[in-house]
Amino acid sequence: MSIESLIDFVKLYREPENTKAARKSLLMEQKKRLEAQQQEIQKSLNYLNFKIEHFDDHMLTFENEKLSYRATVTK
């Protein structure tokens, strides 16, 4: 939760009138933001896992391309 949201939450908490709905709304907004961040992090993790799982295959292809290039340059 951002500092601003925390300040708003505490202000609402300290007010004498009933602010339960507003406080709950702030918490629900924060939850939505965190879920969106979680989805972005999961996308990054999925991509990273793919890269790790296929790292050796990619490196072999890269090494073969390098060897092939060197062979054509030295001819």
Domain containing 23: what range?
3-74
Count of positions (residues) in the chain: 75
Compute φ and ψ for 12, nearest 5 degrees: -65, -40
pLDDT of residue 44: 94
Residue 48 identity: L
Q: How many domains does the chain have?
A: 1
> What span, in angstroms and rounded, lies between the C-alpha atoms of 7 and 39?
27
**DSSP-assigned letter for residue 23:** H
From first to last of its 75 residues, what are the pLDDT tens digits of the chain?
A: 788 888 888 888 888 788 889 988 988 999 999 999 999 999 999 999 998 898 888 777 767 777 766 766 665
Entry pTM: 0.62
pLDDT of residue 73: 64
- In sequence order, which residues have a C-beta less than 8 Å from that of residue 61 and are 6 or more positions away? none
